[in-house]
Amino acid sequence: MLNKVTQISPARLLLTFITLLVLLYGVIYPNLSVVINSFQQVGTWTLGNYRDALSQDSVIEAIINSIGLSVATVILCALVGIPLAFLFERYTFPGRRVFAALSALPLVLPPLVGTLAFIFLCGESGILARAVQRLFGLQRSPWTLRGWPALLLFHTYTMYPFFYVLTGAGLRRINASLAEAARSLGATPATVIRRVLLPQLTPSLIAAALLTFMTSMASFSAPLLFGGNIRVLTLEIFTARQRGDFTAAGTETVILAVISLAALVFFQRHEGTRKFAAAALKGATRRHEPIASGGARILATVAGTLFSVLLILPVLTLVLVSFAREGTWTTQTLPPSYTLANYQRLVSEPQSAEVFINSLVMSAIASLAALVWSFCVVSLVVKRERDGNTKGISRQWRRLLSLLVLVPWALPGTVVAVSIAEAYGSPGSLLGSFVLVGTFWILPVIYFLRFMPLVVRALQASSEQLDPSLEEAAGSLGARTIQRFLRVTLPLVWPGAVAGTLLAFVIALGEYVASVLAFVPANRPISIAIASELRDFNLGAAAAYGVILIGIITVSMVLASKLERWRG
Amino acid sequence: MSFLSLKNIGKSYGTTRAVVDVSLEVERGEFFGLLGPSGCGKTTTLRMIAGLERPDSGTIAFDNNDITNLPPERRGFGMVFQNYALFPHLNVFENIAFGLKARHKPKPEMRDRVTNALELVQLPGYEKRRVDELSGGQQQRIAIARAIAIEPDLLLFDEPLSNLDVSLREETRSELRELVTRLKLTAVYVTHDQEEAFALCDRISVMVGGRLMQTGQPRDLYEQPSDMAVAKFLGRNNLIRAMRLSSSKTSSGEFKTLDGEHTLHLPVRHEELAPLNKPVYLAIRPEHVKLTREPSANGNSVAGEVREIVFAGATSTIRVDANGLLLESLVLEPNGLNVGNKCYVVLSPEHLTLLQG
């Protein structure tokens, strides 16, 4: 397994052991057990479960809807995100910076909170609908936030940043002289985009499409709250478990997982095995051109401002509603009376404080554990090339490890929750009597598994940029392994580590999809509290939870950017 | 009327003035150089000729047409970039044919022109190769082939050889010049390498700090630099600070060096260059500084001691300290001189150039 057996150090052995242990218990066994169970009925191997599932119209409908929704989302997000990226990368005009800063906002908005804000803003009893109703003197609300339009609107809002950010990064990576060379050879700007820029952007576009597709397949809050009668797989799995039909849930989980993984494979194939990295030597840094025509410049500024407003409007709505007096906002356009009562209630009630503490503690445990574990994985997986010889474990094992690490992220949250619940639901499983279901620890474990790929990837990227000769120099100066790690490696990969850990922490805070399947009273997270307030029609309280959550997320991100700079 | 004409071109980036009031003319068939240290504005000027940057002021005319505001794709100039800028997602054929395709040339013609271009750069049969399979030198040739395939009116080179190995550079250099001459093309060539510019160009403009300092043939620039900046940039130079002593009516001026207090004579052609009691610089190239054992009868012979001898193969540089005045002499061989020896340095008047401070 390892290239030269004589070169294994005790440290390396320990790291390998930990890595394999976690992967075995966290990824391989649970997922395998779900797959195996789906092929079993009363102890015998059979395809019966699948036959049952696929014979139901509702399941077929759910599969088609999930895939259709995801494809449509990809197309819409591409149509929004790509032109925006071109506009903001190429040109400078008043307001550009503000929008660029705001553009990533939807990414850190927890999905449940986002759906909530959308309902308050765009729902049939929401501010916009009421305003239009009043304006045109209509009897009823002009629209209902339900069904395909609602879903697609929400999906586009929350996922266009994938295309925007990745296309922007891709554009920045393209050597500016390629476009210039094309123009000097006679290509019009349109031809340059078509024949030079877009082909170069293929890896970024594929990555964005993949992220969008998979996030959309895993979407749960939006279909739940305003999908109307649209069936999607995540909802089917949820309702199956709610009615106790664990077999159906397991089977549908496997189907969902297979579709997601198939998409992953399909997209990675087309990512292009060809390396397009142009040798960037003395590169002319692309300067943002100011837009030549005054009219176009004004248009761009107006569009940018409009977009910025559209982006923060849902959040502003949430803030507004969080101050609304409970029960008073019935048919008016805006809540008529405001109060601090919602926040007071949250602060004074012990259950509310407990909810925040639960989420913070669980997310912290999960993300810190992910960080520690990432160091184990990365030390094994990172390619360190020195004089053309690749050190460390062989390539196949490296790829296998990377793939296994990526699995929980590739799978929808529903699937991860189900696999852990199934595997560790009752004592007597193959690998010892672990029971996580019903305990506090099930959620931190699920959070850890779902989000550790983020941390691993971030750390991996940082580590790959690390010059191996730095550690060697430290060694030659007499530093032992621990010292080298603490004084050379850690400070240099710190920014990447912080970024990844923080992102995991922030996303775990607002996690809903898996929590709703596995939570217990002892570890009730924020998202569950929001959902229950919503169920009780305590809109103000739900909004208040959401606002506080966004506040914590913002503070965390600011803290992290300070932390990044402190060491780096 | 010259082929390419720049008049009072200026360009600023924010508060930085990259190009200031540059005017030059390039004749048809000329191989014209833009030479200067990094950051002097030569690349910016070239990019304005190409149309990749817009000048803030001034005009550019080509073949009697004002092209100042013409977009680059309509200018018909071939450009070779420093990093070659080959399209990595296209193979060699598609790269070279890119400009032809943009002009909607029929396929048979494209094929012929690409084959022809590849033969001209001595890489026949490379059509199907991919860019990342090529060596640096080959990539550079493909970049050139791509530029000439469109049969441009003007070729623009942005330091095309600076990324090649030194050994490859000279060989590629002469091939490049030979190719341009054979095709009877006009070229503007940007470089910071003075030796390269001298070897390749018919005429050169030296730029320093965004300004055009001097234009001329290589030899004129070298022998008669108009300015301190040019003198310092082109080759090595001994720069001696001195003051004019007497204003005798003879055409020969008498100067006293500020270091070492030596008296030197040299003909003063323009009186205003050397007013009394104002420090000026006397410049003399190391290859014109002679070292002798005995004082020489032709004036300007100063006594000194050998401080350092730097052996560089074909030549050696001998550094001499003449009572505080440090001088460099370039010789083919040290001729028995060693560090610590006493000698005499001859600064012959006809090789001393007067420069303003």
- Tens-place pLDDT, residues B54-91: 999 999 999 999 999 998 888 889 999 988 889 888 89
Instruction: Find which of B67, B73, B105, B110 to mutate to test the A interface (most A CBs within 10 Å of its CB).
Output: B73
Q: How far is B77 from chain A (nearest CA, A)?
A: 7
Q: In what order do the strands lie in the sheet with B342-347?
A: B289-292, B342-347, B301-311, B316-322, B325-331
- pLDDT of A279 reads 37
Per-residue tokens: B201: 């160009």
Across-strand partners of B189? B33, B157
pLDDT at A288 over 70: no
pLDDT at B252 over 80: no
- Tens-place pLDDT, residues B143-186: 999 999 999 989 999 999 988 888 888 888 999 999 999 999 99
- pLDDT of A274 reads 41
Q: Cα separation of A90 and A7, whole Å?
A: 51
Do residue B85 and residue B156 come from a single domain? yes
CATH number at residue B351: 2.40.50.140
Which residue of chain B comes nearest to A279, CA vs CA?
B83
| Mean pLDDT, rounded, for A10-25 | 83
Which residue of chain A comes nearest to B160, CA vs CA?
A282
| Mean pLDDT, rounded, for A95-113 | 77
DSSP tag of B225:
-
pLDDT at A281 over 50: no
Do residue B245 and residue B223 come from a single domain? no
Q: In which domain, by residue range, is B38 found?
A: 4-232
Domain boundary among B176, B209, B232: B232
- pLDDT of A387 reads 44
- pLDDT of A430 reads 56
All residues of chain B having their beta carbon less than 8 Å from the beta carbon of residue A191 are: 102
Contacts with A8 (C-beta within 8 Å, 6 or more apart), sequence order: A2
- Tens-place pLDDT, residues B307-350: 999 998 899 999 999 999 999 999 998 888 899 999 999 998 88
Which residue of chain A comes nearest to B14, CA vs CA?
A287
- pLDDT of A384 reads 57
CATH number at residue B76: 3.40.50.300
Contacts with A373 (C-beta within 8 Å, 6 or more apart), sequence order: A18, A19, A22, A448, A452, A455, A456
Give φ, ψ of B22 to 5 degrees: -100, 125
Q: How far is A275 from chain B (nearest CA, A)?
A: 8
pLDDT at A284 over 50: no
β-bridge pairing B203-208 and B186-191: unpaired
Nearest-CB residue to B102 (from A187, A279, A280): A187
> How much is the ipTM here?
0.74
Do residue B40 and residue B56 come from a single domain? yes
Instruction: Find which of B13, B53, B81 to mutate to test the A interface (most A CBs within 10 Å of its CB).
Output: B81
Per-residue tokens: A229: 């009668």
- pLDDT of A422 reads 81
| Mean pLDDT, rounded, for A439-446 | 90
Architecture of domain A47-336: Orthogonal Bundle (1.10)
pLDDT at B303 over 70: yes
Percent of chain B with pLDDT over 70: 96
* Residue B205 near residue B34 (C-beta atoms within 8 A): yes
Counted domains in chain B: 2
Do residue B191 and residue B319 come from a single domain? no
pLDDT at A191 over 80: yes
Q: How far is A402 from chain B (nearest CA, A)?
A: 27
Do residue B267 and residue B150 come from a single domain? no
pLDDT at A278 over 70: no
- pLDDT of A468 reads 73
Burial of A378 (0-12, 13-18, 19+ CB in 10 A): buried
| Mean pLDDT, rounded, for A160-172 | 85
Contacts with A349 (C-beta within 8 Å, 6 or more apart), sequence order: none
Reported as type and span, the H/E element at residue B240 is strand B238-244
Q: Is A200 on the interface with B (CB under 8 A)?
A: yes
| Mean pLDDT, rounded, for A239-255 | 88
Contacts with A552 (C-beta within 8 Å, 6 or more apart), sequence order: A356, A360, A509
Helices (H), A188-340: 189-192, 198-217, 221-226, 233-242, 246-270, 294-322
Q: Is B81 on the interface with A (CB under 8 A)?
A: yes
**Using the beta-carbon criterion (under 8 Å), do B87 and A280 form an inter-chain contact?**
no
Q: Is B82 on the interface with A (CB under 8 A)?
A: yes
Task: Compute how many other C-beta atoms are within 10 angstroms of the C-beta atom of residue A359.
Answer: 26
Do residue B64 and residue B137 come from a single domain? yes
Domain boundary among B232, B248, B283: B232
Using CA atoms in the order B63, B67, B68, B72, what is the torsion angle rounded to 10 degrees? -120
Give the mean pLDDT of chain B.
89
pLDDT at A268 over 80: no
All residues of chain B having their beta carbon less than 8 Å from the beta carbon of residue A196 are: 87
Task: Compute how many other C-beta atoms are within 10 angstroms of the C-beta atom of residue B261.
Answer: 12
Do residue B146 and residue B191 come from a single domain? yes
* Residue A204 near residue A163 (C-beta atoms within 8 A): no
Q: Nearest-CA neighbor of A429 among A12, A150, A11, A37?
A: A37
- pLDDT of A3 reads 45
**Using the beta-carbon criterion (under 8 Å), do A181 and B73 form an inter-chain contact?**
no
Domain boundary among B232, B264, B297: B232
Give the mean pLDDT of chain A.
82
- pLDDT of A27 reads 86
State the count of interchain CB pairs (< 8 A) between A and B.
88
Q: Is A182 on the interface with B (CB under 8 A)?
A: yes
Per-residue tokens: B185: 């093309």
Which residue of chain A comes nearest to B47, CA vs CA?
A180
Residue boundaries of the structural domains of chain A: 47-336
Nearest-CB residue to A280 (from B83, B89, B162): B83
- pLDDT of A277 reads 44
Res. B42 pLDDT band, cuts 50 70 90: very high
Q: How far is B174 from chain A (nearest CA, A)?
A: 24
| Highest mean pLDDT, choosing among A270-274, A325-329, B267-271 | A325-329
| Mean pLDDT, rounded, for A60-69 | 94
Q: Cα separation of B22 and B7, whole Å?
A: 7
pLDDT at A352 over 50: yes
- Tens-place pLDDT, residues A465-515: 777 777 777 777 777 777 777 777 788 888 778 878 888 898 899 999 899
Q: Is A269 on the interface with B (CB under 8 A)?
A: no
Q: Which residue has the tokens 């350092």?
A: B308
pLDDT at A7 over 60: no
Res. A5 pLDDT band, cuts 50 70 90: very low
B218-251 burial, b if ≥16 CB within 10 A, otherwise e?
A: beebbeebbebbbbbbbbebbebebebeeeeeee
